[in-house]
């Protein structure tokens, strides 16, 4: 058994069997993830049943078969959603491997290993035979339960058969699908088999060294059952559930499960399920001392591996045995940098606040981390950071110091709730549960006295724009003093602001100077124009909602029909382009075939179409989907999303329909305004209420159409930032520092500046791309603590139909339709009458609203872009629906209730 050699990727030259006590057994390529982890536990002196691994060398020799190779090749181009094909190929592979004879040298090596173990035992030994794949038990892919396990196996023939069956189980349907989804090669993955002395436990269970539900790294979670742990894995019984405060060892709660059944070994081999007595079902499985012993053991194991662990354990004759340990892959990463004050910190997601919760590449994260620090310093909070941290490829802002200010502590959750209801609820939940962690450092007056910059900037924001004070005062008192500033004036103000910053970046001579200027001008970027008009609209809207709680449809309707509003102009421009294509059949045909702009221009009517597109891009070409991610191309660089929308419009709309829609919305708004005024005019104070209502509506309609002007202006700045970094990437490729211009997005800012100064850098771009891909695949919580907890607050929705997805209703009405899940609008579009299901809905998604009958979005709030546009277009919408793009599938029929915030999957 000790014929150890160096095995290559196919195991050539290595041993067939290694003991768990052998140092070689820590080699993952040789013994797989499960085997390597067990060997490390043995090496560390932790309690593990004695055993050995049948290595990947044996696996490769067993499957060295022409038919197996042919069938494995059939897996290369499989679609993970093609379950029928996966089932066919997987079944054939398993059948073929199970039909192969295990080579005699492998059988002999297994017999020798069994003899070594049994020489120390007075009785015949039973064994647990478990699969151990080379691609399992990784930090970001566990493969838990993908392959076979056999318990209480007795006799050499049964053990050899079980080993072969485990190796064949590398191709279970679940394992094939899982590898395909995670981009893991079927050709290179191999399977070892762990063979251990069978433990006959009185109690078994799982220990999580971090709470897998909340993510809190300070809480350990235990599940325990009588007998073998298979009852827990199979879900045949309800386990005892324990939560423990790891640092103190205090048991937070212990819930006794209703354990009606237990799995136990049979004398002749295998296992059986037995019924438990009433007394066994009602008693606690674990004592307090056993719980604390488990947690202490878990802490040692986590320290050994350096990452929170999912540990399978057994209790036999009062002694704990560990039979498996693997990383908890479901945990969202901890925020970094970690706080240095040993206090609980609470962070909220910058992406959720912007209704864009997707992962950002490293360089973009650095931009927003720097922007966050500059913002807080500008408001007088310097020296108490860092204010920005990152986790899971996202940027989070530290709210802890704000929460320690007595007045702001109550205000912060309410303000966050206005942006994202789940975010506000989560912040409220952590404040309520951990209130003692947020003793006020200073009162608001003390804070303001110590931060004159905050006072000055706050006061300027309120007073520099007289329309805000007028909207609040005159709107409420019914006075008629002034007319809201024109939309043209507001747009020009924001456009000039954004373009001036963009010009200062672009006018620098070299890429290095442009990159430095991006960061040098961050203090200018946060010095944005007064936001009075926009705030005035929100104030007027809130007052209207309070005055007319029984007429939400009419209140929503008065915010529709604005031909000069940015989003409306975008959609009108795209509609005009579709009309030009309709009038020119050759252009329409080319668009349907996906022709390039250059090809279209050469066709009859193509020059007119190109000229109109150029006019559109002159005005809106600096916008993009997910535009706070400056690594993403702007529409001017890649107009494919626009062409896709025009193509969809061609198939379903009629000439001029988009203009008719806006006029209809405007007429509905005026009619709704008249109805509200009539309601207000009733009763003794009717005339006064009517004047107030008319003024509020005038203010609201005058200002709400300016809501997108700040983003329209900021997008000029974002476009210039992108150009600076893109040009730097081009230069670094020319100078040999990078292989691909897009590699620049995977540098940190200090690395980029070093390379731009001509110095060499050593960065594993490929590894960072893999990490970014992983970050993109995980959902980020809106609120996160320094302990890793993702708190969730309860939002009362009343009676909710079973199976409903619950979110925030932001545009009233009920609609049914076929769902279209779109994660990237540059690659997909929506057909007329479909329900748009999306991860976010920033302005880059605007073109898709032309055809949508309703909208479901994973993030956002009542004032997010998607919510405002949905209300203007009169389509029901629900936002902040967790994992909507995973729960809902394209083609399913769904019902949206935009008033109650509910989404139901009807069929499909």
Q: Which residues contact 508 (CB under 8 A, 6 or more apart)?
A: 514, 516, 517
- Two tokens at 612? 């109109």
DSSP 216-277: -TTEEEEEEEEB-THHHHHT-S--EEEEEETTTTEEEEEE-----EEEEE-TTSSEEEEEPP
DSSP 30-67: HHHHHHHHHHHHHHTT-----EEEE-HHHHHHHT--HH
If you count DSSP H runs as helices and E runs as strands, how many of each does the chain have, helices first? 35, 25
- Alpha-carbon distance of 748 to 728, in angstroms, equals 13
- Alpha-carbon distance of 263 to 277, in angstroms, equals 14
What's the helix, strand, coil split of the chain in %, to 5?
50, 15, 35
C-alpha torsion sign, points 140, 782, 786, 335: positive
DSSP 696-744: HHHHHHHHHTTTTHHHHHHHHHHHHHHHHHHHHHHHHHHTTS-SSGGGG
Ranges of H-type helices in 306-385: 350-353, 362-378
- Alpha-carbon distance of 747 to 768, in angstroms, equals 9
- Alpha-carbon distance of 373 to 749, in angstroms, equals 15
Place of tokens 């990152």: 390
The three-point CA angle 154-156-161 to 5° equals 90
Q: Which residues contact 311 (CB under 8 A, 6 or more apart)?
A: 206, 207, 208, 209, 297, 298, 301, 322, 324, 325
DSSP 3-state of 489: helix
| Omega before residue 841 within 30° of 0, cis | no
- Alpha-carbon distance of 449 to 463, in angstroms, equals 19
Q: Assess contact for 869 and 898: CB atoms under 8 A.
A: no
| Omega before residue 386 within 30° of 0, cis | yes
| Omega before residue 132 within 30° of 0, cis | no
DSSP 102-120: PPHHHHHHHHHHHHHHHTT
Q: Assess contact for 395 and 351: CB atoms under 8 A.
A: yes
User: Element (H or E) spanning 424, and its range?
Assistant: helix 421-433
- For residue 451, how far is the Cα from the chain centroid? 36
Place of tokens 């009588």: 226
Q: Are strands 261-265 and 250-255 parallel, antiparallel or unpaired?
A: unpaired
Residue 865 annotated to the active site: yes
Place of tokens 């400056």: 630
- Two tokens at 278? 């009433």
- Which residue is catalytic, options 352, 661, 716, 865? 865
φ, ψ (nearest 5 deg) of residue 162 = -70, -40
| Omega before residue 120 within 30° of 0, cis | no
Place of tokens 């494919």: 640
- Alpha-carbon distance of 133 to 53, in angstroms, equals 11
- Alpha-carbon distance of 793 to 805, in angstroms, equals 16
- Alpha-carbon distance of 254 to 241, in angstroms, equals 6
| Catalytic sites, residue numbers | 865
């Amino acid at each position: 058994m000790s014929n150890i050699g160096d095995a290559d990727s196919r195991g050539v030259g290595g041993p067939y069997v290694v003991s768990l006590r052998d140092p070689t057994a820590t080699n993952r390529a040789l013994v797989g993830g499960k085997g390597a982890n067990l060997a490390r536990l043995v090496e560390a002196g932790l309690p593990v049943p004695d055993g050995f691994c049948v290595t990947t060398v044996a696996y490769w020799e067993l499957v060295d078969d022409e038919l197996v190779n042919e069938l494995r090749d059939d897996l290369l181009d499989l679609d993970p959603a093609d379950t029928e094909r996966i089932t066919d190929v997987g079944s054939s592979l398993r059948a073929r491997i199970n039909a192969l004879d295990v080579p005699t040298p492998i059988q002999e090596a297994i017999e020798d290993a069994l003899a070594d173990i049994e020489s120390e035992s007075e009785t015949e030994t039973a064994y647990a035979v478990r699969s151990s794949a080379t691609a399992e038990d990784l930090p970001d892919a566990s493969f838990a339960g993908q392959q076979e396990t056999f318990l209480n196996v007795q006799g050499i023939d049964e053990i050899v058969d079980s080993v072969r069956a485990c190796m064949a189980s590398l191709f279970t349907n679940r394992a094939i699908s899982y590898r395909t989804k995670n981009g893991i090669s079927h050709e290179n993955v191999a399977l070892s088999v762990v063979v251990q002395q069978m433990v006959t436990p009185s109690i078994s269970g799982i220990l999580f060294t971090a709470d897998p539900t909340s993510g809190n790294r300070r809480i350990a979670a235990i599940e325990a059952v009588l007998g073998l742990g298979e009852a827990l894995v199979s879900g045949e019984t309800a386990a005892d559930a324990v939560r423990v405060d790891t640092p103190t060892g205090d048991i937070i709660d212990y819930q006794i499960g209703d354990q009606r059944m237990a799995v136990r070994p049979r004398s002749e081999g295998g296992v059986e399920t037995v019924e438990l007595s009433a007394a066994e079902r009602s008693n606690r499985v674990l004592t307090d001392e056993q719980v604390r012993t488990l947690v202490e053991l878990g802490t040692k194991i986590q320290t050994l591996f350096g990452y929170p662990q999912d540990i399978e354990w057994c209790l036999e004759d009062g002694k704990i045995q560990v039979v498996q340990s693997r990383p908890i892959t479901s945990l969202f990463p901890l925020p970094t940098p970690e706080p240095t004050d040993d206090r609980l910190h609470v962070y909220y997601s910058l992406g959720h606040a912007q209704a864009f919760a997707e992962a950002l590449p490293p360089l973009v994260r650095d931009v927003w981390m720097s922007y966050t620090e500059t913002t807080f310093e500008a408001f007088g909070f310097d020296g108490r950071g860092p204010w920005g941290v990152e986790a899971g490829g996202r940027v989070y802002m530290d709210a802890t110091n704000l929460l320690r200010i007595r007045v702001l502590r109550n205000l912060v959750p309410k303000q966050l709730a206005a942006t994202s209801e789940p975010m506000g609820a989560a912040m409220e939940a952590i404040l309520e549960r951990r209130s003692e962690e947020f003793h006020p450092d200073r009162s608001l007056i003390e804070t303001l006295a110590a931060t004159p910059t905050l006072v000055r900037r706050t006061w300027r924001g309120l007073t520099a724009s007289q329309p805000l004070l007028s909207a609040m005062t005159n709107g409420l008192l019914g006075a008629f003093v002034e007319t809201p500033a024109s939309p043209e004036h507001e747009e020009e103000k924001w456009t000039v602001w954004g373009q001036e910053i963009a010009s200062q970046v672009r006018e620098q001579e070299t890429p290095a100077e442009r990159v430095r200027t991006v960061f040098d001008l961050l203090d200018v970027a946060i010095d944005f124009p007064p936001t009075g008009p926009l705030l005035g609209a929100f104030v007027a809207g809130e007052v209207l909602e309070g005055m007319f709680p029984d007429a939400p449809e009419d209140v929503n309707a008065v915010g529709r029909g604005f031909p000069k509003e940015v989003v409306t102009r975008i959609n009108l421009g795209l509609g005009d382009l579709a009309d030009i294509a309709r009038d020119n059949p050759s252009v329409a045909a080319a668009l349907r075939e996906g022709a390039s702009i250059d090809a279209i221009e050469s066709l009859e009517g193509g020059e007119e179409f190109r000229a109109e597109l150029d006019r559109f891009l002159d005005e809106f070409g600096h916008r993009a989907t997910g535009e706070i991610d400056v690594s993403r191309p702007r529409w001017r660089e890649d107009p494919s999303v626009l062409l896709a929308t025009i193509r969809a419009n061609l198939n379903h709309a009629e000439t001029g329909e988009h203009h008719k829609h806006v006029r209809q919305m405007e007429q509905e708004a005026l009619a709704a305004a008249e109805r509200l005024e009539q309601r207000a005019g009733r009763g003794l104070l009717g005339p006064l209420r009517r004047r107030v209502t008319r003024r509020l509506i005038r203010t609201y309609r005058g200002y709400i159409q300016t809501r997108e002007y700040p983003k329209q202006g900021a997008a000029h700045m974002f476009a210039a930032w992108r150009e600076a970094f893109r040009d730097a990437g081009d230069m670094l490729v020319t100078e040999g520092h990078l292989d691909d211009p897009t590699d620049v997005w995977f540098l940190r800012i200090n690395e980029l500046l070093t390379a731009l100064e001509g110095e060499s850098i050593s960065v594993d771009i490929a590894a960072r791309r893999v990490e970014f891909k992983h970050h993109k695949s995980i959902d980020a919580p809106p609120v996160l603590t320094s302990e890793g907890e993702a708190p969730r607050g309860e939002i009362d929705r009343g009676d909710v139909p079973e199976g409903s997805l619950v979110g925030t209703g932001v545009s009233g009405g009920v609609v049914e339709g076929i769902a279209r899940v779109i994660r990237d609008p540059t690659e997909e579009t929506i057909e007329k009458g479909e329900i748009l299901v999306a991860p976010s809905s920033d302005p880059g998604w605007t073109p898709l609203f032309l055809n949508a009958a309703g909208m479901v979005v994973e993030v956002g709030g009542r004032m997010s872009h998607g919510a405002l546009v949905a209300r203007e277009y009169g389509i029901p919408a629900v936002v902040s629906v967790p994992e909507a793009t995973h729960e809902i599938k394209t083609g399913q029929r769904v019902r949206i209730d935009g008033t109650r915030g509910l989404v139901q999957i009807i069929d499909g």
